[in-house]
Amino acid sequence: MEEINNPNLTVVPVGVNYTNPKKFRSNLFYNIGEPIRVADFMEEYKAQPARTLNTFIKVLEPKMKELIVHIDNPKNR
């Protein structure tokens, strides 16, 4: 946002899923989430950039998980 000077900058979470991830050329579908306004984080970012980036990621991660097929299996970690 600082570099492009756009106060309306948003990040749109997108989930990409395959009907059969093990099969080449299986169907692909997208889920589009609600935009996240970057301006909502700017005041905090000016004071603590690294901490704010971590906060932003914590906001973004669950929004993206809602958009994908996510199997939380400890064996996959």
Q: Give this prediction's pTM.
A: 0.76
Which residues pair with residue 15 across a beta bridge? 31
Q: What is the DSSP string of 9-72?
A: -EE--EEEEES-TTSTT--EEEEE---EEGGGGHHHHHH-HHHHHHHHHHHHHHHHHTTS----
Rounded to an integer, what distance in angstroms lies between the CA atom of residue 28 and that of residue 62?
21
Neighbours of 59 (CB within 10 A): 14
Q: pLDDT means per 10 residues in the chain (77 residues)?
A: 84 93 89 96 94 96 90 74
Domain ranges of the chain: 10-76
State residue 77's pLDDT score.
Answer: 64
